[in-house]
Amino acid sequence: MTQRIALVTGGTGGIGSAICLSLADQGMKVVAGYSNEAKAKAWQQEQKEAGYDILIQHVDVTSLESCQQAVAEVKEKAGGSIDVLVNNAGITRDGVFKKMDWDQWNSVLTTNLDSAFNMTRPVVDDMLEKGFGRIINISSVNGEKGQFGQTNYSAAKAGLHGFTKALAQETARKGVTVNTISPGYILTPMVAKIAPEIQEKIVAQIPVGRMGAPEEIGRTVAFLADDNAGYITGSNLSINGGQHMS
């Protein structure tokens, strides 16, 4: 069987790294999208030393043009079209709504939601033509339940659910599945920097009694990306230790 090609946006970040490694462990040729070149090169070297050969690709997910160019370059360097797209890049710009300015709103909406259009549009035709594709959108528990101080982020992440369910219907007959994963608190380097007493308060609200590990998201992406996961589409997998049950 030919080796599947996967592109993970934000592939060098906390959760993105774990997704890349899980997909590589599954035998895929993995390309990590990045916006910060110096960080990406150091990351790639680190992975090489750990035994992983992962390609890297610059892409600004807020720009359709950049995404189109990145997809063309990935096809060239990976030697084929993209089979698995993980829309993982994301940012937060928190603030209560009455103090939120347009830039805070717009940057979060463009990076977390417009990105799904910008990245998926250039890959979907190849998937439909080939009769195989896996599109996995990384949302958040805060897109399911809303979060104080995150009207922008909650709106963008909730938007991914609508996008997923609508596109899943359009592509189902052609072997292209579209799903969403909604992580709760995941212990990435960024979250690990939160003061220990605040971390304790957060963990107290999580029935499982701990934060999630990035690898737990990585393994779920790999599960959905598998050739045998063709009957799972339009779904959302909540991975939040029971923090929110819908």
- Judged by the rule CB under 6 A, the positions of this chain that interact with ligand NAP are 9-10, 12-16, 33-36, 39-40, 59-62, 88-91, 111, 138, 140, 183, 185-186, 188, 190-191
In the complex, least distance from residue 240 CB atom to ligand NAP, rounded to whole angstroms? 8
Give the whole-angstrom CA distance, residue 134 versus residue 82. 9
Query: Is residue 19 within 8 Å of 8, Cβ to Cβ?
Result: yes
Using the Cα atoms of residue 157, residue 158, residue 159 and residue 160 in order, give the sign of their dihedral. Answer: positive
231 annotated active-site: no
Which residue, 132 or 143, is less far from ligand NAP as judged by CB? 143
Catalytic residue, chosen from 34, 52, 153, 231, is 153
In the complex, least distance from residue 44 CB atom to ligand NAP, rounded to whole angstroms? 12
**Amino acid identity, residue 215?**
E
Furthest-apart CA atoms within the chain: distance in Å = 55
- What number of residues does the chain have? 246
Report the interhelical angle of 14-25 vs 37-49 (nearest 10°): 40
In the complex, least distance from residue 15 CB atom to ligand NAP, rounded to whole angstroms? 3
Catalytic residues: 153
